[in-house]
Amino acid sequence: MAHEKALEQVLIVTGGSRGIGAACALLAARKGYAVAVNYTANERAAQDVVQAIIASGGRAIAVQADVAHEDQVLAMFNRVDTELGRLTALINNAGVVDAKARVDEMTFERLRRMFDINVIGSIICAREAVKRMSTRHGGAGGAIVNVSSAASRLGAPGQYVDYAASKGAIDAFTLGLAKEVAAEGIRVNAVRPGLIETDIHASGGIPDRVRQLEHQVPMLRGGSADEVAQAIVWLLSDEASYTTMSLLDVSGGR
């Protein structure tokens, strides 16, 4: 039993209570990961994901933490250490958009929130993951997947330039961190989803955004959270053992 526990993969999914994060948590659990489902405010949704994993025979816990607050991130990682074991994988998925706006309409408060969550939060989570995974710190290696966006290539003019800029920062961070820890047993990649059917569009005030823009996608449809999760969980797996510093577009060709 102790040997089996030593082999268990332990994963944190930030923003794991809904959308792409929830799809990743459920898929990873089916592949044998013990999963920490992070959430900021919606405990009910996070517990629903956890219960689905447990009902299927997996191990999971829901962990509240706002990634924009370092003390909450530290508490989350410490709880995972105690309740699930040494971390071997991280999906940096937590992120926000704001209401559709031009740059000349954006407030400082909006920009501060955007970058605190989407960029600084992801970097702090990765920092804590590296401390646990890196052979330099006594770890056994692991994998990090950052959830970026096709917006980092497209710019999202007239809607979410600040969001696109935050995801451009995630792309650059992915490349730099991947090189930094490649010799320490850690692979770091990013997935850049395109138009995906999740409720993040509603939070930005455009609930039918996928319908509005799917004609721009060569595949002529939006994607699903499950389709993005397949790519993310593959990048975590041993099947991607020689893949690091990659930015993988899951965007239907857009």
Residues classed as catalytic: 163
What is the full DSSP assignment across 122-138? HHHHHHHHHHHH-GGGT
List the beta strands (DSSP E) in the chain.
10-13, 34-39, 60-64, 89-92, 142-147, 186-193, 247-250
Secondary structure (3-state) at 174: helix
The Cα 115–Cα 121 span in angstroms is 8
Place of tokens 């007239």: 158
Place of tokens 């820890």: 181
According to DSSP, the residues that pair with 175 across neighbouring strands are none
